[in-house]
């Protein structure tokens, strides 16, 4: 299913470094629910200020996931181009590059 995301859409972002044993070895678990909820700008700020996530970059295996609420349930967004971060990128003259991004949910 494809849905449209705007700068005002409430999204969720989550991450985990938890692992599980599989037949082929350890695997980082999938993210099941968001750790942060807000607009894309609010989530960008939360991610930038998250000290745990920052400490993992470059030294720890982890998974992240983005979510949108559909029918009262958080549903994962399939990450493709254009990304939801394109919603907050501005051109030199101050206008946003895009106002809406179509995303696939899984």
Please say if the pLDDT value at position 82 is more than 70.
no
Confidence of residue 75 (pLDDT cuts 50, 70, 90): very high
Q: Is the dihedral of CA 77, 36, 43, 63 positive or negative?
A: negative
Higher pLDDT, 17 or 106: 17
* For residues 34-44, average pLDDT: 95
pTM, 2 dp: 0.85
Confidence (pLDDT) at 80: 65
Residue 34 corresponds to which tokens in the numbers above?
Answer: 């968001």
Q: Could you tell me whether strands 36-38 and 11-16 are parallel, antiparallel, or unpaired per DSSP bridges?
A: antiparallel
Q: How far apart are CA 88 and CA 86, in angstroms?
A: 5
Cα distance between residue 43 and residue 37, in whole Å:
7
Q: Count structural domains, the chain.
A: 1
Using alpha carbons, select from 88, 73, 7, 1 the residue that is nearest to residue 34. 73
For residue 60, what pLDDT band results from cuts at 50, 70 and 90? Answer: confident
Range of the domain at 83: 2-105
């Amino acid at each position: 299913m494809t849905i449209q995301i705007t700068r005002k859409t409430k999204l969720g972002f989550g991450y985990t470094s938890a692992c599980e044993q599989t037949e082929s070895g350890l695997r980082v678990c999938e993210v099941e629910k968001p750790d942060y909820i807000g607009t894309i700008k609010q989530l960008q700020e939360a991610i930038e200020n998250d000290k745990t996530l920052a400490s993992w970059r470059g030294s720890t295996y982890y998974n992240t996931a983005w979510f949108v609420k559909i029918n009262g349930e958080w549903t994962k967004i399939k990450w493709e181009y254009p990304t939801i971060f394109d919603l907050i990128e501005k051109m030199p003259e101050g206008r946003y590059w895009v106002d809406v991004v179509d995303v696939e949910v899984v």
